[in-house]
Amino acid sequence: MPRTKRNGGAGLGKPIAFRLSDADRAVYLEKVAASGLTQSEFFRQAVLTNRTQVIARPKASDDRKRLLYVFNKTSNNLNQLAHRANSEHVRGKLSEATYEQMLDQLQMISRYLKATLAQVE
């Protein structure tokens, strides 16, 4: 049986695919089965006609974007410190001076993050 064309004869376009967790997939398929529609029909009728409630994520402010950037950079520094401490420990070369330097760097990172956090909304 040929598909009916929608939108003035345009027909069906390209497919859209997305992944769901097993739990979310089960819920989705349960709702589809309860509706008596195919998955495509259910999506068209429930989602495209706005029969669902969509809660949009709030847009990040410039301050929040900057904070996320700083935290991402800081996480890289923390990984480098952890790697250095581990490698020197494994080689038996972790000295008191190296340990003190790492603590100083961690305290500096902490102060920087706290100062940055205070400036965000």
Q: What is the pTM of this model?
A: 0.45
Please state whether 95 falls in left (phi above 0), alpha (psi between -120 and 50) or beta.
Answer: beta
Q: d(Cα 91, Cα 8) in Å, to the nearest integer? A: 72
- Which pLDDT belongs to residue 54? 52
Tokens 């950079």: give the residue.
Answer: 73
What is the chain's pLDDT, residue by residue, as a tens digit (121 residues)? 455 555 555 677 888 888 999 999 998 888 888 888 888 888 888 877 766 665 666 787 888 888 888 888 888 889 999 999 999 999 999 899 998 999 999 999 888 888 877 776 6
CA distance 6 to 110: 58
